[in-house]
Chains A and B, each alone.
Chain A
């Protein structure tokens, strides 16, 4: 399917476990992003990537690890999940031309619960 997909859509895990959220886009967009959205709040940027093998921290990176070995994939790993990481996670992608960036397109989200 064309577009941007996330998996799993729902995940329940326990404190201390490692969890990986997957994001895949078919547009070959250069930029990809991970956000978290907590109940009643806007979105906060966790990490972003400008291209394969280039990643950088956003506003709330602590406790998360990302990688981007291929343009189309941008997995987000919680190395040791904590209850405060219970949230809805959104992945997004956008194209760019120099510093000019086109609009972001969002995946459907992953609802993560850490018990």
Chain B
């Protein structure tokens, strides 16, 4: 079963604008991750936020986690054409390290030059 659900399904912005993507999930988690997928390729891990963290930064990426609302957001600042890709949130189904990892359906981001 898919734990995470991203919103919106598709997003189109101008280069230089910020892109905000959201993920909601159903059950308690100990971490949430975001991945990027360029067309026809495998996924690449972007950032992991643990349940005891509220915000995390990595370069132009900012991730927030609200465990009371069971939601996370990914903000890409000053977007570039190269950020055009699909973005997925992922959550483990169990607390331990040996856990299945489930993904949402993804958000398609288009950044216009």
* Same assembly: no
